[in-house]
Amino acid sequence: MKRRVVVTGMGIVAPNGIGLEAYDQALRTGTSGLRHNEQMAEAKFACTVAGVPQGSDEIAEQYFAEDELMAMNSSHRFGCIAAADAWTDAGYDRPAPGDDHVFWEAGAIIGTGIGGLDTVGERLVPMVDAGRVRRLGSTLVEQVMASGVSARVSGQLALGNKVTANSSACSTGSEAILDGMERIRAGLAERMLCGGTEGASHYIWSGFDSMRVLCRTHNDEPERASRPMSATAGGFIAGSGSAVLHLESLDHAVARNARIYAEILGGAVNCGGHRQGGSMTAPNPVSVQRCIRQAVEDAGIDPLEIDVINGHLTATGADPAEVRAWSKALDRDPDNFPIIHSTKSMIGHGLGAAGALEAVACLLMLQGGYVHPSVNCEDVHPEIEPFGGSIPHELREMPELRTIVKSGFGFGDVNACLVFRRWSDSAPSV
C-alpha cells in the first residue's frame, strides 16, 4: 500500500502577494500583480508587462545574513524566502547559527526553468567578454548552477535527505511536487520541500518576446494583459517568484500532530515525444490526455469527483485545446464540466515556478472553501463557449470544495498533473 503524502507547510513569493495571507487575499479579490516593466520597455520588447513580487528584498534582508545575500540573485531570494516560510509554516524553527543538527529525514526538490539568467546577463557575459574573469568573484557559480537554490536552502535549513533541482520548463514546479511525493511514498524521505523558483529578469523573458508568445496588445493596461481563455487573449505575461510546499508522510505528520492543509492523492508526468501534433513548443494532445488520466488513476478517484481544474491556461492559442483535452480526458461534457480557471490571469506565467505558485493557490482554496476568479475572460474564447458556465469571473464561495486537479505543460512537450484533496477530520485513518 502506498504511503500517503500530505502538505503541512507552504511558502509563497508571488507577484500579487508575498506570504500566505497576502496571496490568499489577492486571489479572493482577483487582484492582479502584473505591472509595466521599465527594463522591458528600455530594451524595446514588444510586451512591456511582467509580474514581479514586490518587497522581496526587504524580507530577504530580514531573513538572511549579509554574506548569503551577496550570493543570492532574484531567483535565489524568491526561492529561499518561500522555502524558509514553508519550513516555519510547517512548525519547524529555522536552525540557529552554530546548530550542527542535520535533518536526515528532510530534503528538497526546488526546480527552475531558466533561473540565474539575471546573473548571466548582468555579470557573467559582460565581464568575461571584457577579459575580467578574475573579477567575477566566488559567488558566480552558485548563482548560475541549476541546483543553486536547492543547495542554498539545504544549508539554511540543514537538510540531509535528497537535495536537487529539476527542470522541465513550465511544468517544473508541478513536477517537483510530484517527485517529492513519490520519494515520500517510496519511504525514502519523511519530509520534502518541493516547488519552483524563477527570477525576475528581462533576460529570462527576451526569448519569449522574440517568439511572439508574450501579449503585446495590452501594454497600456497591465492588469488586463493576462487573458487566459479570452477571445482577446494575445499571449502570456511573464511572471516570476517562487512557491515551496512542505510535503510530509501522513504518518510523520500525524505523529507530530502537524496541521495538514491537504493530501496529494496522486499525479503523473509524461512527454508527448514531439509526435502526433506535439513539438518542442506545442503539446501532443494525446499525451496531455494520457497524463490527466494517469494522474486521476494514480489518485484513485472517479473523474466525477473533481470539483475544480486549475489549468495550465497561459493565454496563448493553446487554451481552447487544453480545455478540450480536459473534457475528453475526464469524459465530462460542458453540461457536467468542473469549474475551470487560471491563476495566471492574476500573476502571469511564472515559468519554472508556475506549477508551485498555482499549487499554493489550490491549497489555499481547499483550505478556505472558495474558488478564485479567472479574471480578464469576460469575452470567453468562441471555441470554448460551451464551457463558459464553468469559468468563474467572480469569487465563488464553495464550502463543499474537496478535490482540485492542477496541470502544468511545458516546452519539450512535457506534462504534469497533480490531484489535491482537502484534508478534514473525516479523512480515513492511516
Catalytic residues: 170, 312, 349
Cβ-based nearer residue to other proteins, 141 or 304: 141
Stated as kind and residue range, the H or E segment containing 262 is: strand 262-271
Cβ-based nearer residue to other proteins, 95 or 317: 95
* Interacting residues of 202 by C-beta distance below 8 A, sequence separation 6+: 37, 39, 40, 43, 45, 50
| Nearest approach, Cβ of residue 147 and other proteins (Å) | 16
Footprint (CB under 8 A) of other proteins, residues 233-252:
none
**The only residue of 2, 38, 135, 276 in contact with other proteins, by rule CB under 8 A:** 135
Residues 347 and 50: their CA atoms lie apart, in Å, by 9
Q: Is 138 in the site for other proteins (CB under 8 A)?
A: yes
Per DSSP bridges, beta strands 5-14 and 339-341 are unpaired
What are the φ/ψ torsions at residue 292 (nearest 5 degrees)?
Answer: -65, -45
Cα angle for residues 374, 376, 381 (degrees, 5° grid): 90
| Nearest approach, Cβ of residue 143 and other proteins (Å) | 13
Q: Is 428 in the site for other proteins (CB under 8 A)?
A: no
Cβ-based nearer residue to other proteins, 97 or 428: 97
Residues 261 and 41: their CA atoms lie apart, in Å, by 41
Contact at 8 Å (CB) between 357 and 347? yes
Could you tell me the sign of the dihedral formed by the alpha carbons of 81, 82, 87, 90, in that order?
positive
Which residues is 36 bridged to in the sheet?
Answer: 49
Supply the DSSP string of 149-169, one letter for each residue: HHHHHHHHHTB-S-EE---BT
User: Three-state DSSP class for 26?
Assistant: helix
Q: Is 131 in the site for other proteins (CB under 8 A)?
A: no
Per-residue x/- mask for other proteins, residues 84 to 113, rule CB under 8 A? Answer: -------------x----------------
Candidates 135-143, 192-200, 202-210, 242-250; binding stretch for other proteins (CB under 8 A)? 135-143
Candidates 112-120, 133-141, 188-196, 377-385; binding stretch for other proteins (CB under 8 A)? 133-141
> Which among 182, 226, 187 is positioned nearest to 47, based on CA atoms?
226
Size of the site for other proteins (CB under 8 A): 9
Footprint (CB under 8 A) of other proteins, residues 18-77:
65-67, 70
| Nearest approach, Cβ of residue 273 and other proteins (Å) | 42
| Nearest approach, Cβ of residue 155 and other proteins (Å) | 10
> Which among 186, 249, 175, 158 is positioned nearest to 1, based on CA atoms?
186
Q: Is 137 in the site for other proteins (CB under 8 A)?
A: yes
| Nearest approach, Cβ of residue 151 and other proteins (Å) | 13
What are the φ/ψ torsions at residue 22 (nearest 5 degrees)?
Answer: -65, -40
Q: Is 133 in the site for other proteins (CB under 8 A)?
A: no
**The only residue of 139, 166, 327, 345 in contact with other proteins, by rule CB under 8 A:** 139
Cβ-based nearer residue to other proteins, 116 or 408: 116
Distances (CA, A) of 189 to 103, 330, 379, 429: 10, 32, 47, 21
Candidates 9-17, 130-138, 212-220, 333-341; binding stretch for other proteins (CB under 8 A)? 130-138
Cβ-based nearer residue to other proteins, 97 or 399: 97
Cβ-based nearer residue to other proteins, 141 or 430: 141
Distances (CA, A) of 146 to 12, 91, 358, 406: 20, 28, 22, 25
Residues 347 and 107: their CA atoms lie apart, in Å, by 28
Cβ-based nearer residue to other proteins, 135 or 256: 135
Task: By CB under 8 A, name the binding residues for other proteins.
Answer: 65-67, 70, 97, 135, 137-139
